[in-house]
Amino acid sequence: MHPHLFSPLRLRDVELRNRIAVSPMCQYSAEDGFPNDWHFIHLASRAVGGAGLVIAEATAVEARGRISPQDLGIWKDEQIGAHRKLARLIAEAGAVAGIQLAHAGRKASTYRPWEGRGPVPPGQGGWSPIVGPSPLPFAEGYQEPRELGHDGIEEVVHSFAQGARRAREAGYRLAEIHGAHGYLISSFLSPLANRRQDEYGGPLENRARLLERVVAAVRGEWPQELPLFVRISTTDWAEGGWTVEDSVALAARLADSGVDLIDCSSGGNRVVPVPAGAGYQTAAAAEIRRRTGMKTGAVGLIRSAHQADHIIRTGQADLVLLAREMLRNPYWALNAATELGVDVAWPPQYERAKP
């Protein structure tokens, strides 16, 4: 029998109760990187709502690697306690607690969306320098990043490993490395942002070196029985940029590295028009899965229960990740089960409201 949206998904020693994941979504609501009541309520409510996996937002492994001053962080041991509470709340509601380990690179130190666009000046909580593969600003008006030297690259790799250690100690059961959306790892992968002439630039195998080193370092701290995802931008949507063919090649390179699933997003290395539409990134997830055998996750304008179920039933992906739809409706998964005619357990406190 082919899997469907409400089939369990086993990843190493972890089993998701269904194929529905809450995609990591920045809330820009932390102080000094610490999770607080907003994060506890926001993420736990989606677990109560029936998702199989709840992934905490992009969580910076270095303070300079935050997108905004209000991003979550896991760059120091003092943050472990609050993350432990967050992971516990998600697990107690029946979902697997995941975390996305991230570094914003040349897109760091920017305003949260409702306060403006572009860089936050150091006098207003921002910081400088920011870092990247090459001294190329993300866009007009953005800071010029400092090119990471070899010592800086070693620091970044170490920071990801230590972030994984802290995530393990906090009780998260799944980790995702953020290699998408033009942030640090993504900018190393993309020829649009990476103009280096050393062993981290040029051909794909060089541009992928930072990600591969981060994967190895994280796997060194992350228990073998727990799954590891990598989110990538499957295309830059720009001539001369990263392509789906590159993504297939990268997934094949990662197949034996301890990565369990490629989370397939797109864009972020250049401001370009994106042909966004229903499930517009799913074809890339299907292509990577078909050609490499790697498990994939589909994300991007997945809205309806039948659309999500179709993605799983037709083998386009092994997992669907929802973002905006989960903001609109924390109980999307429970409602999807009703729509699809699947009987799932509701929280006993809500059982009397079950259709």
Residue numbers annotated as active site = 183
How far is C-alpha 72 from the geometric centre of its chain's CA atoms? Answer: 13
What CA–CA distance (Å, rounded) separates 349 from 334? 14
Give the other-Cβ count within 10 Å of 156's Cβ: 24
What CA–CA distance (Å, rounded) separates 90 from 55? 9
Both tokens of 165, joined, read: 């250690």
What CA–CA distance (Å, rounded) separates 216 from 157? 9
The DSSP symbol for 214 reads H
- Spatial CB neighbours of 82, under 8 Å, sequence gap ≥ 6: 34, 35, 36
Place of tokens 């120091």: 76
Which residues are 53's β-sheet partners?
Answer: 21, 96
Place of tokens 């517009």: 280
- E strand intervals along the chain: 9-11, 14-16, 20-22, 53-60, 72-73, 96-102, 131-132, 146-147, 174-179, 228-233, 261-265, 296-299, 319-322
What CA–CA distance (Å, rounded) separates 46 from 160? 27
